[in-house]
Structure 1
């Protein structure tokens, strides 16, 4: 079902490209976006652009997971992560005017970045229709669109000043393509210490792969140069409701009974700024740092 054209999308139309043609610009039509070849994509009632069609259009986090995430994030439990992401984006030295949040979830982190950058604009991409309902309303200078990060992004070359990736899949080649020559990539990801106490209480929770850092840097190295890393780590006291939501906002909730999960946990993440490299002829042109997910979508760590 389409809605009246979202005004938040108007300042961002120069970024978007038809996902089918890959090069054609999209223009507003009644309740939709349309390319010159006639490919049409609805504006969903909540205001996001429904660019992802077919079987993948219903992937991503489901409604109970998103509601749990919204409740937990509203408590401020991950506010230090949000502040760190905003600080790194603002401190890139590029005076970013356009920020693309890849795997934006509810738009929580993108909104924090835009609050720190008066005048900047933001576009969030995510595969969860339920999360995008919130992302489309997260900030008055942000718009949102449905997309699968494992596919070529529906964005023009060299249009973003910063790509933000918080606890989300990464597509290094596409991030490189859509960034301006002096653009920056900001990646926030959990360390093996993240929520370690909760995994002791609930052994079925997914652990952070200790080899994840090595694989991340190997995947990014052809495209990006390390520009500095900040560790964000702090203790967080969870009451029963917060613990329930923290578990429920992940796919682990389907297999766990979070009884006795309350208590103190460690929130631990690394936040890194990467500088865009000139692309060498040997660098692969497509790719992601994760294996393509099953039909129901990728499994993110608890954070989005």
Structure 2
């Protein structure tokens, strides 16, 4: 599953999304932010960000030690830590300028604790028609309509919505790419090697995402 993700991302298929994340971060995060990537996976997006944005420090968290081994190689200047997002994050309170949460679970109270006042959380989720051309044969999990609305509601106790950018593009996927898509995400836990046999040999496939920006509401001080 991790190797499938590495192989797919190295082909550049999600580069337009990475570019959108970088552009959004540049608009909202300020100069030399301290960046926390919660659910960093193999470090692809954090690495892309660091290539374009000067950061004061970078921390990558993920529950997969195998993914973080890749992150550590890709991000020699970042602190890469194995972490369950549902537990307290190993980060000081009010220290984070920019929090990335890309296709990962959201522990909103912990996000609120670690983000400084006016800090930014950038959350990326797929839209319902993401990968629609191959979703059924690949056995991909359904994406509920209104996911971005649910995300905004979950963040509302601590964060204000600043922006919501839709990112859509078409990918030309080879047979190997289609197989990697089928096994690199949550559905990969359920797909056995034989399950990829019905996949299309190639496909022009839709990629569609919501890039939501939230700003940490200032705390009430006693």
Q: Normalised by the size of structure 2, how large is the TM-score?
A: 0.91
What SS does structure 2 have at the residue aligned with 1:164? strand
Q: Deviations over 1:273-303 (max 9, x none)?
A: 111113479xxxxxxxxxxxxxxxxxxxxxx
The residue that corresponds to 2:150 in the other structure is 215
Which of 107, 116, 119 is the equivalent residue of 1:171? 107
Q: Which has the higher strand share?
A: 2
Q: Deviations over 1:181-211 (max 9, x none)?
A: 1210011110001111111333x32011124
Which of 44, 68, 90 is the equivalent residue of 1:132? 68
Q: Deviations over 1:133-181 (max 9, x none)?
A: 0111222332200100011111111111110011111111111111111
Which of 164, 170, 190 is the equivalent residue of 1:229? 164
Q: Is residue 114–residue 141 contact of structure 1 (8 Å, CA) maintained in 2?
A: no
RMSD: 1.7
The residue that corresponds to 2:31 in the other structure is 95
Which of 151, 173, 179 is the equivalent residue of 1:238? 173
Q: Within 2, Cα distance between the matches of 1:120 and 1:278?
A: 22
Mind listing any 5+ residue stretches in structure 1 that lack a counterpart? 1-64, 282-304
Question: How is 1:1-304 mapped onto 2 (pairs within 5 angstroms)?
Answer: 65-202=1-138, 204-253=139-188, 254-255=190-191, 257-258=195-196, 259-261=198-200, 262-279=202-219
What SS does structure 2 have at the residue aligned with 1:104? coil
What SS does structure 1 have at the residue aligned with 2:89? coil
Q: Which has the higher helix share?
A: 2
Compare relative contact order (CA 8 Å, sep 6+) and give the higher one, 1 or 2.
Answer: 2
Q: Within 2, Cα distance between the matches of 1:190 and 1:251?
A: 13
Q: Is residue 184–residue 276 contact of structure 1 (8 Å, CA) maintained in 2?
A: yes
What SS does structure 2 have at the residue aligned with 1:94? coil
Q: Is residue 102–residue 163 contact of structure 1 (8 Å, CA) maintained in 2?
A: yes
Q: Deviations over 1:229-275 (max 9, x none)?
A: 11110011111011111111124233362233331110000111111
Q: Normalised by the size of structure 1, how large is the TM-score?
A: 0.67
Q: Is residue 114–residue 121 contact of structure 1 (8 Å, CA) maintained in 2?
A: no
Mind listing any 5+ residue stretches in structure 2 that lack a counterpart? none
Q: Within 1, Cα distance between the matches of 2:121 and 2:215?
A: 7
Q: CA deviation at 1:126?
A: 0.3
Aligned residues: 216
Is the radius of gyration larger for structure 1 or structure 2?
1
